[in-house]
Amino acid sequence: MKQLTKAEEEIMQVLWQLQKANVKQIIDELPEPKPAYNTVSTIVRILESKGFVDYEKKGKGHVYFPLLAKTDYSNQSINMLVNDYFQGSFKSMVSFFVKKNDLSLKDMESILKEINKKDA
């Protein structure tokens, strides 16, 4: 699976949120300063060529929708991060974030409870 650029990911975040949108609706959801219509349209077409989005014709325009679930992309991105920076070790990654972010014991307990809920 191909990685998204920052701009592409920003557009995908909007599409994942809205599920279906035309270019104007995507722009409406983006923060100020709003990008130009042609910029967003170009990025959406790039996402289409990469296989991340597809479209339906609606009148004279297109309504775009994601082909890839956000969770699938997130899982793939996390796996790449772990493989590229932590030699494939989730334990090393968690240890790194615990040390760098100075997690409290309470925060760690909360994280463990969430993990245990998912395993149950």
Indicate the pLDDT class of residue 61, thresholds 50, 70 and 90: very high
SS3 70: helix
- Whether residue 58 has pLDDT greater than 90: yes
Supply the pLDDT for residue 100.
82
- The better pLDDT of the pair 46, 94 is held by 46
- Whether residue 85 has pLDDT greater than 70: yes
Amino acid in the structure at residue 29: E
pLDDT in tens, 38-56: 999 999 999 999 999 999 9
- Pairing state between β 53-58 and 61-66: antiparallel
- Whether residue 120 has pLDDT greater than 70: no
Supply the pLDDT for residue 115.
77
> What average pLDDT is seen over the chain?
90
Question: Could you tell me how far CA 118 lies from the centroid of its own chain?
Answer: 21
Angle between helices 6-18 and 70-85 (to 10 degrees): 150
- Whether residue 76 has pLDDT greater than 70: yes
Domain range summary for the chain, segments of one domain joined by +: 6-66, 86-119
**Residue 23 host element (H or E):** helix 23-29
- Whether residue 1 has pLDDT greater than 70: no
Nearest to 80 by CA among 13, 7, 3, 8: 3
Please, what's the b/e burial string for 15-44 (b: 16 or more CB within 10 A of its CB; e: otherwise)?
bbebeebbbeebbeeeeeeebeeeebbebb
Task: Spell out the CATH class of 6-66.
Answer: mainly alpha
